[in-house]
Amino acid sequence: MTDFPADKLRTLNELEAYDAMVWFLNSYWERRGKLSDDIAILMSDLSREIWSNQMPGDPASWRDWQKAVTNIQGARDQ
């Protein structure tokens, strides 16, 4: 791979980054034949298609995501 990281990195907001992560995990799971129940459960927890307000299936997953973003931003700023 010669294009990592890309010369011009794109910027995503928290919600776009969350949706990109969900898409990435779902694609990974599908490419491997949907064999992992653990990933299936995770995808259900992360899905924003369950509730009418588009909150993830497990609302705690959004809080976990925000903690992850804060962690990465904090590490980057140090």
Q: 45-70, pLDDT tens digit by residue?
A: 999 999 999 999 999 999 999 999 99
| Residue 36: HSE in the Cβ half-sphere, 13 Å Cα cutoff | 14
Burial of 25 (0-12, 13-18, 19+ CB in 10 A): middle
pTM for this structure?
A: 0.78
8 Å CB contact between 14 and 65: yes
Of 41 and 78, the structure prediction assigns the larger pLDDT to 41
Cβ within 8 Å of residue 71, ≥6 positions away: none
Q: In the chain, where do the E strands start and end?
A: none
Cα–Cα distance measured from residue 10 to residue 36, given in angstroms and rounded to the nearest whole number:
31
